[in-house]
């Protein structure tokens, strides 16, 4: 969007580097574009073929300019099958808001309930011709927007969509939070639409780049195609974020904490026995209230001594469990599901006698409330349910080669006796005298040909797992080595049994391998090259539906990498998030559980950020249902 004098206003948001497929991370978000006279000739058939479902075109500016390209863009996009609308570039110091709304509607910016026409959009942002806020005080700006909105609503019966940046809105309206009845289009090129201006919990449209697959600016509607049609028709559209208690909202990986750089906490190493508080609720699109737990990928790097990290709700007592274990100098990551405290934050504890750097990357959050639907999640603990060193949950004895340990889950530690489909447990192997792997699976079932974590002789390693329970409510842990090991399991929560239908619920599937580059499963028989990426089809495989999936739970394993580095997992696209899921040294096989959104075609992407090659294995454990 922008004025008549430049392709964009000077309020260009921070730039990112993602394709529309990656940004459409919920697998239900709809891709679109906005154009102006700078894109005077658009091949709308090609745009539709490339995946666009909607378009906005510039109609007017102030009360003095009409775009000569508007009619062709408005009608051409409609003829190609797109849902379309017009936008008005506001010049608040030119004339009143009501006068500009009149001008906009008189020149093609109206609305009709034909299910193909979007409400007009008010593009209000930094002034390309002079003072940022057009010389208006904050009160005057609020009055101008109110005047435009009320007049447009009077003329069309629809509130206009408001396009802006958070910085401009906060600067020029004084953090006003009273326009929430209007839908929000947010411009932000940083890889996330957040933070949003006050008054909006979630955006309707997100302009995430000024170039890409389509002509003009790249847009995403925050919902399914049916939700977009309903929005055009005038229905109230609920954002796709689930609201049913105990359901899950997946997120693109976003860094919440990095003590190396000062993200989320001061830029300083965390001392021995010290802790870091990380605010969760009210940040990065997470609601300020009504959040029970958060899924985060935790990483420790640069430790000066061996130790462990524990994550727990802020304000609570620190439990006698660990989320990940590390040796001096090691960089290691593990996924965790952590209940949030009353203030909406979590605490990360450094259980070592040295200093460490800590990182936390958001993967999603759970809605608080009473568990009522199949696939909902009950956050518990964390609490230790097995420790073969001390006799918790099983006899105090090492687990022999090829042997397994049964762990009763249903009816213990707050888990219901019946109606449980799966549990989330953090598994740890320690004291092994041979290399091997651990596999977790439902008691009474056949052991699947998958692994949950891999270990070397003498190594202590942990990994989160989502494990279906057997008919008796228990799980089995198998020692896949020729030596002995000690096993530990810490409970994080459980899922309700039944057929999932509600948005944000999780359906387990039998653990199934969908990728093994060593064997040619899911990709050619070839190690992933240095700094290379591999796209993997997930939807439609391994009992995962071909549509309606927002995210999947997968165990990802890096096998015999030739150089040290890290692996990033995200929706398939031209680039990946600036986060990591697995950190690996040369020659070591490392696994981690990942909750990953899929692209619109149901794919995920693995990116090898190292100077060497590595084989990859992916085992799927379950999936989350999308919104409308």
Residue-range domain boundaries for the chain: 20-233, 242-370, 371-500, 505-628
* 8-state DSSP, 152: H
Q: Is 34 a catalytic residue?
A: yes
Query: Tokens 């977790």 identify what position?
Result: 440
Q: How many CA atoms lie within 13 A of 165 on its CB side?
A: 22
Fold of 505-628: Jelly Rolls (2.60.120)
Strands in 486-496's sheet, in edge-to-edge order, are 377-387, 486-496, 420-430, 461-468
Give the integer Cα–Cα distance in Å for 119 and 51.
Answer: 22
CATH 2.60.120 correct for 242-370: yes
Helix H or strand E encompassing 61: strand 54-61
Catalytic: which of 61, 102, 125, 619? 125
The pLDDT value recorded for residue 577 is 63
CB-CB contact of 257 with 350 (8 Å): no
Catalytic: which of 34, 167, 599, 615? 34
CB-CB contact of 35 with 225 (8 Å): no
Backbone angles phi, psi at 151, to 5 degrees: -70, -40
Residue ranges with strand state E in 291-435: 291-301, 307-313, 324-326, 332-339, 345-352, 357-367, 377-387, 404-408, 420-430
CB-CB contact of 312 with 320 (8 Å): no
The pLDDT value recorded for residue 17 is 32
The pLDDT value recorded for residue 3 is 56
Give the integer Cα–Cα distance in Å for 535 and 524.
Answer: 11
**Same topology between domain 242-370 and domain 371-500:** yes
DSSP H helical ranges for 68-194 = 70-79, 97-106, 138-156, 166-173
The pLDDT value recorded for residue 556 is 95
The pLDDT value recorded for residue 9 is 37
The pLDDT value recorded for residue 19 is 34
The pLDDT value recorded for residue 16 is 37
371-500: CATH number:
2.60.120
Tokens of residue 260, six digits:
């190396």
CB-CB contact of 343 with 315 (8 Å): yes
Q: Is 61 a catalytic residue?
A: no
Alpha-carbon separation of residue 304 from 266, 272, 330, 351, 358 (angstroms): 19, 10, 9, 12, 13
Tokens of residue 409, six digits:
């889950």
Fold of 20-233: TIM Barrel (3.20.20)
The pLDDT value recorded for residue 627 is 54
Write out residues in the chain with pLDDT < 50, as ranges: 4-27, 237-240, 574-575, 628
The pLDDT value recorded for residue 601 is 76
């Amino acid at each position: 969007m922008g004025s008549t004098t430049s392709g964009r206003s000077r309020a260009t948001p921070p730039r990112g580097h993602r394709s529309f497929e990656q940004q459409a991370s919920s697998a239900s978000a709809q891709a679109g574009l906005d154009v102006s006279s700078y894109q005077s000739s658009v091949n709308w058939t090609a745009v539709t073929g490339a995946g666009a479902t909607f378009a906005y075109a510039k109609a007017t500016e102030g009360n003095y300019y009409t775009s000569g390209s508007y009619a062709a863009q408005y009608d051409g996009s409609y003829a190609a099958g797109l849902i379309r609308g017009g936008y008005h570039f506001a010049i608040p110091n030119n004339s009143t808001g009501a006068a500009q709304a009149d001008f906009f509607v008189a020149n093609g910016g109206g609305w009709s309930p034909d299910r193909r026409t979007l409400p007009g959009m008010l593009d209000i942002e930094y002034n390309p011709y002079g003072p940022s806020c057009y010389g208006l005080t904050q009160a005057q700006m609020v009055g101008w927007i109110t005047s435009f909105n009320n007049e447009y609503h009077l003329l069309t019966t629809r509130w206009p969509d408001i396009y802006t940046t958070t910085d401009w809105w906060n600067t020029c309206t004084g953090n006003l939070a009273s326009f929430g009845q209007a839908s929000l289009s947010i411009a932000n090129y940083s890889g996330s639409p957040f933070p949003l201006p006050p008054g909006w919990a979630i955006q309707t449209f997100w302009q995430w780049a000024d170039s890409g697959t389509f002509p003009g600016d790249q847009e995403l509607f925050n919902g399914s195609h049916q939700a977009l049609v309903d929005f055009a028709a005038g229905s109230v559209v609920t954002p796709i974020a689930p609201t049913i208690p105990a359901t899950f909202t997946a997120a693109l990986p976003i860094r919440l904490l990095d003590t190396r750089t000062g993200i989320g906490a001061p830029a300083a190493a965390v001392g021995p026995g010290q802790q870091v508080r990380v605010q969760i609720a009210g940040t990065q699109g997470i609601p300020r209230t009504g959040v029970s737990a958060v899924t985060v990928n935790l990483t420790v790097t640069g430790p000066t001594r061996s130790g462990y990290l524990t994550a727990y709700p802020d304000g609570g007592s620190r439990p006698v469990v660990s989320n990940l274990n590390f040796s001096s100098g090691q960089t290691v990551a593990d996924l965790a599901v952590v209940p949030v405290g009353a203030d909406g934050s979590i605490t990360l504890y450094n259980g070592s006698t040295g200093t460490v750097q800590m990182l936390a990357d958001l993967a999603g959050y759970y809605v608080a409330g009473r568990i009522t639907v199949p696939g909902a999640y009950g956050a518990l603990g964390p609490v230790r349910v097995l420790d073969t060193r001390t006799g918790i949950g099983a006899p105090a004895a090492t687990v022999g080669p090829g042997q397994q340990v049964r762990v009763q889950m249903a009816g213990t530690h707050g888990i219901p006796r019946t109606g449980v489909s799966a549990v989330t447990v953090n598994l740890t192997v320690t004291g092994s005298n041979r290399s091997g792997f651990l596999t977790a699976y439902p008691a009474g079932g056949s052991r699947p040909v998958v692994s949950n974590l891999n270990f070397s002789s003498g190594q202590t390693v942990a990994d989160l797992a989502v494990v279906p329970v057997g008919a008796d409510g228990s799980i089995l842990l198998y020692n896949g080595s020729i030596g002995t090991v000690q096993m530990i399991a810490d409970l994080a929560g459980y899922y309700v049994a039944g057929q999932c239908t509600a948005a944000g619920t999780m359906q387990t599937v039998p653990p199934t391998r969908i990728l093994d580059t060593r064997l040619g499963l899911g990709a050619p028989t070839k190690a992933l090259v240095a700094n290379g990426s591999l796209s993997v089809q997930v939807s439609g495989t391994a009992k995962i539906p071909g549509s309606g999936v927002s995210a999947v739970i997968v165990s990802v394993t890096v096998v015999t990498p030739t150089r040290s580095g890290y692996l990033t997992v995200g929706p398939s696209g031209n680039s990946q998030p600036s986060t990591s899921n697995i950190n690996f040294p040369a020659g070591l096989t490392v696994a981690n559980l990942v909750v990953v959104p899929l692209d619109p075609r149901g794919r995920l992407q693995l990116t090898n950020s190292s100077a060497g090659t590595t084989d990859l294995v992916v085992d799927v454990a379950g999936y989350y249902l999308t919104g409308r």
